[in-house]
Structure 1
Amino acid sequence: MNPRRWLDPRLLRDGWTLPALALSAVALAGALLVIAQLLRSLWLTHTAMPFMDQLDYASVAEISGILLGRHNEHLILLPKLGFMLDLALGGSNAVNFVTILLIQLAHGLLLGWMLTAGNGEWRRPDLVALGVALATCFSALQYENLAWGFQTQFVGVYALATACFAVVFLGGTGLLATLGACLLGAAAMLNMANGVLVLPIAATIALLAGRPWRQVLAYAAASLLVVGAFMAGHVSPDHHSSPLDALRMPASVGAYVAVFFARPIVEILRLPVAADGTGWLACVVIGAAGLALAAGLGLRALVRRRSLRPVEFALLAGIAFIVASALVTAAGRHSFGWIQATSPRYGTPALLFWCMMLLWLHLLAQRGGRLRALGASGLVVLVVLALVQQQPRSVAVLEHFVASRYPAEAALIAGVRDEAAFRDVFPLPEVVESRVRDLRANRLSIFAPPHAGWMGRPLEGTLRVLPEGRCRGSLDGARLLGSAPAQFAAVTGWAWDRQERHRVNQLLLVNQAGVIVGYARGPLRRPDVPAGTGRSVPDTRVGWVGRAAAGPGTTLRAYGLAEPGAACPLPGAITLTE
């Protein structure tokens, strides 16, 4: 068959050719695989345990009293409304996580739509662009923002910025579009402090794009209102660097920004980076290359602004907002060291930075003929495949990040004071205890499920006990912590339901008198279990960790919550010794 026929737009309807169809299928399949892996991990590891800053928002009454108050330098009004809704519905964190996922889905769909709507050369949806946008938005490289219910504002501000720029440049020049863009910019400011940059950037790029003067002036006026509202009562956090000091240290700020953007690439390439300085040069070089590419695209846009398509101005504004956000972050945090710039929370803007530049290059290539367009699509697909191969590794890190909260959850339900576990969710253990009092009293969050009220009750009569042998597993170890009379046990093990051929992620710890004295939960990864059972237990996510109110001489058994209202005993028991 003549290879030229593969590129014949008449081969399939609406401009589809076999290579384009294949690349689109791979891009979408890769994105769906990335999404599926993330959703499965979030579903398995979900915990309602409040974490870090989230402990500041543990009751509806407290939040309603500080709706317009600052969280550090941020006005997080919209996220606070979400926190209130989650608490009103039980405090399970479900509302927060669903909000994060819906924001990411909307952001990915919006980027894909922008590339399609803003490209007159294509007569078909740009599914390759959609694939890489969705894979970017659901990449677990940004695991902190995806697996921490508090981070609705961190994903929200970038999605609102993109939406604002899309309306400015693709939404027409009417009053409704202008008002909508202004409202989106204001909403971005009510998510995070860097949101205050959205409308000034929109006004500046709109001026360069030759938008109508009345629209540019409207954005400029809205910018002044938003900036004024934000600065009223604004105080920079004491522990941050002074922006004036940052001006005197441009090299430090520049290196921080370069590392900020380099992290996703470094992770995908698996380059070693350590606090002792290993790998930092590679980070700076990669980040600087990305910034140079962004500058090149920006300079090209300025020189050719009369011939640029609206979507290109939208992408330019998006990239400018992300770079400006990174600079503002560096100005306040560069004194923390470069290692802080590799925080996974910055994975969201860094991934979007690279994605938007890739989409822009993909868009430009489509003007250079079908072969060049297919080559650019092939490059985009390679990026999607890189995100696919990285996803399992990042998901494992995400699960470890979430699992660090399990011991505190188990200790609070068991009613024991495990200071080390509490420090894993907040630096001051007493803050954890004080903040969860309302949650415990109102049966919210981790105290909402029935098992949270079973401590001190006899197992018999509380649950139906299933026959021995239904569950496989073991109590691998236990150690006594604390001092008398408040001693408690930290217990680990694994569990598997033979009948349902499924992991058991919730367990009760019962003493020799048959009284429920502790709680355990998973999943934790235990690669040793499949190997040790001859693959009869095929799942590695069967580990658990627990806490029990028990002292020396107590014998503990573990019972898995295999069915509603029923528990299956794990084989064996363990006696606690000093």
Structure 2
Amino acid sequence: MDRQLFRSGKTWMAVFAILMFLLAIAGGVHSYSPVPYWDMWDGTLNFYLQITEGNSALWLAQHNEHRILLSRILFWLDYAIFDGLSYFLITINYVLMAFAIFMFWRFSKLQYRTNPDLKPEHASSVLIFSLFILAWLSQWMQWENLAWGFQSQFFLAQSLPLAAFYCLAASASNNHAWPYFCASIILGALSLFTMANGVLALPLLTVAAIFMRASWLRSGILVASTILGVALYFGEYHSPDNHASITDTLRYQPLQLLQYVVLYLGSPFFALAGEGRNGLLAAGLSGSILVLLSLLRLMIELRAYRTNPVTLALLGYLLYLGGTAVGTGTGRVVFGVAQAVSFRYTTPALMAWAALLLLYLPTLSMFARRNKKVATAGVVLICALLFWRQLPALQPQHQKIFDRQVAALALELSVADAQQINHVYVMNAGLLSIAEKATALDLTVFGQYPLQDLREKWAGRFAPPSDIPECQGALDSLETIEREPDALRISGWIFNPAEESVPSRVIVSDRLGRIVGFALTGQPRPDVEAAVHDSAGLSGFRGYIKPADPGSVLAFYGEQSQCTMNITLPGGE
């Protein structure tokens, strides 16, 4: 009966874990946009522009308080090989998430081999735990990190130290100790170039090695590596202007910092509890539990005469993630403690809970064997909650993708439409300058259809093909743009009934054949879908035309799904 229960539980957990991972991938597909977003304008696009101009010092330069060398290598590859369209970077995010899952699996196998409390009959618990971690770390709640091409450093900053602590534990538990030990130092050193919290990796590896009773030679190598790494990181370091100092936060806001830390570590439960007030309460309570359970196990291990390397390594990693929460809070608590539950912070918090579960795996395994029904019911309820909160990954993000694409259109046409451009970054002179250079060099989306060379075409002429069908559509609005006298914003919808499809781009021309504007389709229009055709759901367009007299008749030509329609501008007699 137990074997049948194990096989059934293993099968269902495997199906659940794979489904969670596939849903996370589906969320990335639904959210994908090639348009650079927020920090990417300076951190990836402008970085690549300056590197190609010979500014090699940028490789190690700070990004806020971070030195993101490893991510910058990925950014450069994205532009040099993959046209700067982010699909490579987003794929890397998923690869790094899978790497963290793999490392937790390796950790669980090492724990099973070295922990005397885990006997052969506990093998089923170890396997089910590994499958659960696959599901746990695949949660879509961390969508800001998964679906944003700039966020590889968030995964690198957690997964490389995890691998470093694993290698350190393996070096103390394996006959082939030196290769694992060297790997732990290399991974700890690489952690310096992920995010600012990577500075903690080498010092904590050193402390863990000492408690593992490493030899004087190994301890000395780790101490030297730590001193060298920290000195390298803080050479010419400067504190970001918009962040509070550590000393000021500790002196004036210690309670807010403590609250920030527990909310940060409990942030997964903010999402699982439905956000809002209940989510904050769940995050605060769960974060406090994580801290208390970690400190309890740390005190037990420090008082023990014999210590397990895997346990010490997991405690070192939990200290690393706790230090990450403290470091984040000291710089950002000035923005409010609620910022601690931002979705991008759920990645390190998810890692922390995975490490805590692995730390208590022997206890949990013994409890599960003695209380099978209770354990099964608990796992089923938790999995059901995770699956329910994973379903938003299936929601299309058409409006967000459309807004970003039209923002890129405004930048391509050099239309200073702050209302639209703010969808990708706050419009300022720096952004406009970066976009100007990228447009001239046909970089990222500015070198791809439907945006490539539109600025040059705006001054040209266009003759639509003859004998093409009439479009269905309408111009819904014609708006002036604040502080932009050279363009008007247009929006409406367009549909080709002959092909039952939506054109991808709209070219607007006057009666003399002069191109006066462009628009992009893709905006959700459920009203048009209900009234016209099931295929017209994304028929909404938005774009820009040059100022024209009221009553002017303009031709709207839809590309790819070719059709045309004439529209009279409002205001004429």
Q: Smaller-chain TM-score range?
A: 0.7 to 0.9
Give the drift of 1:117.
4.1
Give the drift of 1:443.
0.8
1: CA distance, partners of 2:498 / 2:6: 50
Moved more, 408-417 or 490-499: 490-499
Give the drift of 1:187.
1.1
2: CA distance, partners of 1:204 / 1:404: 49
Give the drift of 1:420.
2.5
Moved more, 547-556 or 97-106: 547-556
User: Where does 1:341-356 land on structure 2 (aligned, <5 Å)?
Assistant: 341-356=340-355
Distance 1:154 1:475, change over 3 A: farther
One-letter amino acid of the structure 2 residue matched with residue 548 of structure 1: Y
1: CA distance, partners of 2:426 / 2:23: 33
2: CA distance, partners of 1:131 / 1:502: 43
Deviations 1:289-341 (A, max 9, x none): 33223333433444557364x44333322222111100011112212211322
Instruction: Tell whether the 8 Å contact from 1:209 to 1:305 is kept in structure 2 after alignment.
Output: no
The residue number in structure 2 matching 1:149 is 149
The residue number in structure 2 matching 1:546 is 542
2: CA distance, partners of 1:208 / 1:450: 59
1: CA distance, partners of 2:105 / 2:420: 43
CA RMSD of aligned residues (A): 3.6
Give the drift of 1:158.
0.8
User: Where does 1:375-524 land on structure 2 (aligned, <5 Å)?
Assistant: 376=375, 379-380=378-379, 382-393=381-392, 396=395, 404-451=403-450, 452-454=452-454, 455-456=457-458, 457-458=460-461, 460=463, 467-468=469-470, 476-482=476-482, 485-493=485-493, 506-513=504-511, 517-521=516-520, 523-524=522-523
One-letter amino acid of the structure 1 residue matched with residue 23 of structure 2: V
The residue number in structure 1 matching 2:288 is 288
Moved more, 138-147 or 220-229: 138-147
Instruction: Tell whether the 8 Å contact from 1:482 to 1:488 is kept in structure 2 after alignment.
Output: no
Q: Does 1:208 align with 2:204?
A: no
The residue number in structure 2 matching 1:221 is 224
The residue number in structure 2 matching 1:61 is 52
Partner SS for 2:112: coil
1: CA distance, partners of 2:553 / 2:100: 53
One-letter amino acid of the structure 2 residue matched with residue 510 of structure 1: V
One-letter amino acid of the structure 2 residue matched with residue 507 of structure 1: R
2: CA distance, partners of 1:215 / 1:497: 74
Instruction: Tell whether the 8 Å contact from 2:170 to 2:180 is kept in structure 1 after alignment.
Output: no
User: Where does 1:50-199 land on structure 2 (aligned, <5 Å)?
Assistant: 50-55=37-42, 56-59=46-49, 60-61=51-52, 64-89=56-81, 90-120=83-113, 121=120, 126-171=126-171, 172=174, 174-199=177-202
Deviations 1:411-430 (A, max 9, x none): 12334221232333333421
Instruction: Tell whether the 8 Å contact from 1:144 to 1:345 is kept in structure 2 after alignment.
Output: yes
The residue number in structure 2 matching 1:575 is 569
Distance 1:306 1:402, change over 3 A: farther
Q: Does 1:317 align with 2:316?
A: yes
1: CA distance, partners of 2:169 / 2:97: 21
2: CA distance, partners of 1:58 / 1:242: 31
The residue number in structure 1 matching 2:270 is 266
Partner SS for 2:491: strand
Distance 1:35 1:178, change over 3 A: same
2: CA distance, partners of 1:37 / 1:503: 24
Deviations 1:479-505 (A, max 9, x none): 332467412214254769986x8877x
Q: Does 1:242 align with 2:245?
A: yes
Distance 1:83 1:94, change over 3 A: same
1: CA distance, partners of 2:414 / 2:310: 56
Instruction: Tell whether the 8 Å contact from 2:496 to 2:561 is kept in structure 1 after alignment.
Output: no
Give the drift of 1:407.
3.1
The residue number in structure 2 matching 1:48 is 35
Partner SS for 1:118: helix
Alignment TM-score, normalising by the size of structure 2 = 0.83
1: CA distance, partners of 2:77 / 2:297: 42
Give the drift of 1:378.
6.0
Identical counterparts, % of pairs: 24
One-letter amino acid of the structure 2 residue matched with residue 551 of structure 1: P
1: CA distance, partners of 2:139 / 2:212: 32
The residue number in structure 1 matching 2:21 is 32
2: CA distance, partners of 1:251 / 1:377: 39
1: CA distance, partners of 2:41 / 2:399: 19
2: CA distance, partners of 1:382 / 1:459: 62
Distance 1:305 1:197, change over 3 A: farther
Partner SS for 2:439: helix
Structure 2 unaligned segments of length 5 or more: list them: 114-119
One-letter amino acid of the structure 2 residue matched with residue 110 of structure 1: M
Structure 1 unaligned segments of length 5 or more: list them: none
Equivalent pairs counted in the alignment come to: 548
Deviations 1:403-447 (A, max 9, x none): 553332121233422123233333342111101222111111111
Deviations 1:355-397 (A, max 9, x none): 3323444453224563557865764554444332212336659
Distance 1:136 1:306, change over 3 A: same
Distance 1:441 1:369, change over 3 A: closer
Instruction: Tell whether the 8 Å contact from 1:161 to 1:188 is kept in structure 2 after alignment.
Output: yes
Instruction: Tell whether the 8 Å contact from 2:502 to 2:561 is kept in structure 1 after alignment.
Output: no
Give the drift of 1:243.
0.9
One-letter amino acid of the structure 1 residue matched with residue 163 of structure 2: A
Instruction: Tell whether the 8 Å contact from 1:109 to 1:133 is kept in structure 2 after alignment.
Output: no
Give the drift of 1:38.
1.9
Deviations 1:128-151 (A, max 9, x none): 334433334432322222232222
Partner SS for 2:266: helix
Give the drift of 1:157.
0.9
Partner SS for 1:546: strand
Instruction: Tell whether the 8 Å contact from 2:100 to 2:162 is kept in structure 1 after alignment.
Output: yes
Distance 1:518 1:128, change over 3 A: farther
Instruction: Tell whether the 8 Å contact from 1:31 to 1:388 is kept in structure 2 after alignment.
Output: yes
One-letter amino acid of the structure 2 residue matched with residue 174 of structure 1: A
1: CA distance, partners of 2:357 / 2:539: 40
Give the drift of 1:202.
1.6
Partner SS for 2:387: helix
